[in-house]
Structure 1
Amino acid sequence: MKLILKFLIITITVSGLQSCALIGAAGLTSQGQPTKKVDGDLMSTTANSQVNVDHSEWDALLKKHVNKAGFVDYKGFKNDRAALDSYLNTLQSYKPNSNWSVQELLAYYINTYNAYTVDLILRNYPTNSIQDINGAFTNAFIPIDGSMLSLGSLENGVLRKMNEPRIHFAINCASYSCPKLLDEAYTAGKINEQLDLVTNEFINSDKNEISENAPKLSKIFSFYTKDFEPNLAEYINKYSDTKINPNAEITFKEYNWDLNEQ
């Protein structure tokens, strides 16, 4: 009986440690990254930061391998693997801290998420879906200032804590139902306009079926409803060409995880 009890205690302890590790990787912690909050209206500027990050390498790759619809030429990216590795090394050379502006942090984390998502796909290419990659969102493979982050921790533990819901339309999870991958790098000097652009495009795209009384929205709005408080319909109406009745019942579309390949 004592042996059985001891075994159960050990099993529960190990399971608990595994669960804690999974939670940390999936995104309930920032892994020590600075997470400044957007206070009021976000302004684009490079003038208020100790560091201005150079994203020109990523910008060139995006312009070359992403079309206006946001679909990705992964074969082309594979041929430019050295250039992508060079940009990833550039990202690793920076150490985000509290002396960076919120604009620089947002641009850095968004570009890091998107670049490492492309890296993940290339390391597992060909693949039909990011969901076919074991631990795609929970494995910690993104090095930032001595810490290893997962895509999940970068999104949920860092970006979502910055009080800027438009990040959901800027980060791209390599899937058809995701917001499109912008064909340029995010920068502090353009961040507000870029976030407005991708939010407008996504909300008014075929990823949603917006009507006055029976809107059917992307499941992104179901996954992250609390980020669009106090009222989801009110948030949508700020950008949508068609306005949703405040009392309308909102339903959600199925999510298509097929690879967003050209």
Structure 2
Amino acid sequence: MCLGLTVSSTTALAAPKADLWPYWQAHQTNSTQQVDHQRWQLLLDRYLIVAPQQTRFRYSAVTDDDKYTLSRYLRDMAKIDPRQLNRREQFAYWVNLYNAQTVQLILAHYPVSSITKIGGFFSFGPWNEKLLTINGQSLSLNDIEHRILRPIWREPRIHYVVNCASLGCPDLLPRAFTATNTDTLLEQAAKRFINSDKGVKIDGDRVHLSSIYDWYGQDFGTQRELQQHLNRYRTGAPITLQQISYDYDWQLNDAQ
């Protein structure tokens, strides 16, 4: 999940709706083209720190050579027309592109306390900025998540694998997505987040949920359907969603 939230006059946060950009809906079912994500994997191997409850990224440690590696990866991705890929390659392409672009954005503004501090004076974060050009089309991070990934795949676990560089966000995964590991990583990401305190925390009769489940409630269905979704992945006794509160930590997922 990454949010791309907007701030209303009453300071309430509103998540964008899934709104298909038809241009990107095309795909080639029989395509055998494979996208190389090794440069992105190299950055994950070197700078991502995985701990039981949280992964953090060592932004301050990234060398100039590896910043170039990341830029080269993003340039390579921009040369690809994802509409010529099959659906599985497309999914991996868009998720990795989103996460790599987010890391590059943080590196370009580092040190910064939160991704929400990046962007125009009146904006809540950088999600609406046109940061990428793919096949001649200018795209923002919001475009990738809310106009491509969510409306095409209609998969709630997407929120567990696009990362907004914040402690409250589902963790940036240590493996780059590929056409062959996507199902496994989606399952791992859902289980990891839902069994972390930032995803679901029990306090007596009250259940503290990530604000993701509030902002994107439409993607998870009714309260009963959300309860079933959470219990599918939780270890231990099933939970009942009766008294609910929501929380989210926007602090940067930085590791010194």
The answer for unaligned runs of 5 or more in structure 1 is 1-24, 37-46
Q: How many Å apart are 1:248 and its aligned residue?
A: 2.1
Task: Tell me whether 1:73 sits opposite 2:55 in the alignment.
Answer: no
Partners of 2:133 and 2:119 lie apart in 1 by 19
Partner of residue 88 from structure 2, selected from 99, 103, 117: 103
Give the aligned length.
Answer: 225
Partner of residue 89 from structure 1, selected from 75, 81, 85: 75
Partners of 1:34 and 1:50 lie apart in 2 by 18
Asked whether the equivalents of residues 117 and 173 of structure 1 are also in contact (C-alpha less than 8 Å), the reply is: yes
Amino acid at match of 2:142: G
Asked whether the equivalents of residues 194 and 234 of structure 2 are also in contact (C-alpha less than 8 Å), the reply is: yes
Task: Tell me whether 1:137 sits opposite 2:132 in the alignment.
Answer: no
Aligned residues: CA RMSD? 2.2
Q: How many Å apart are 1:78 and its aligned residue?
A: 4.6
Amino acid at match of 2:165: A
Asked whether the equivalents of residues 177 and 256 of structure 1 are also in contact (C-alpha less than 8 Å), the reply is: yes
Q: How many Å apart are 1:68 and its aligned residue?
A: 1.3
Structure 2 partner of 1:128: 113
Task: Tell me whether 1:148 sits opposite 2:138 in the alignment.
Answer: yes
Amino acid at match of 1:67: I
Change (3 A) 1:31 1:126: farther
Structure 2 partner of 1:52: 34
Asked whether the equivalents of residues 18 and 150 of structure 2 are also in contact (C-alpha less than 8 Å), the reply is: no
Asked whether the equivalents of residues 211 and 243 of structure 1 are also in contact (C-alpha less than 8 Å), the reply is: no
Q: How many Å apart are 1:33 and its aligned residue?
A: 1.7
Amino acid at match of 2:133: P
Task: Tell me whether 1:63 sits opposite 2:45 in the alignment.
Answer: yes
Q: How many Å apart are 1:48 and its aligned residue?
A: 5.3
Q: Which has the higher strand share?
A: 2
Partner of residue 183 from structure 2, selected from 185, 192, 195: 192
Q: Deviations over 1:54-89 (max 9, x none)?
A: 111111111111011320011233531111111111
Amino acid at match of 2:143: S
Greater mean deviation of Cα atoms: 166-175 or 49-58: 49-58
Q: How many Å apart are 1:151 and its aligned residue?
A: 1.0
Partners of 1:78 and 1:209 lie apart in 2 by 37
Partners of 1:105 and 1:89 lie apart in 2 by 17
Greater mean deviation of Cα atoms: 206-215 or 83-92: 206-215
Q: Which has the higher helix share?
A: 1
Partner of residue 219 from structure 2, selected from 223, 227, 242: 227
Q: How many Å apart are 1:227 and its aligned residue?
A: 0.5
Amino acid at match of 1:188: A
Partners of 1:248 and 1:181 lie apart in 2 by 30
Asked whether the equivalents of residues 29 and 153 of structure 1 are also in contact (C-alpha less than 8 Å), the reply is: no
Partners of 1:120 and 1:75 lie apart in 2 by 13
Q: How many Å apart are 1:259 and its aligned residue?
A: 0.7
Q: How many Å apart are 1:200 and its aligned residue?
A: 0.3
Change (3 A) 1:120 1:31: farther
Asked whether the equivalents of residues 216 and 250 of structure 1 are also in contact (C-alpha less than 8 Å), the reply is: yes
Structure ID, larger Rg: 1
* SS of equivalent residue, structure 1 residue 71: strand
Asked whether the equivalents of residues 212 and 244 of structure 1 are also in contact (C-alpha less than 8 Å), the reply is: no
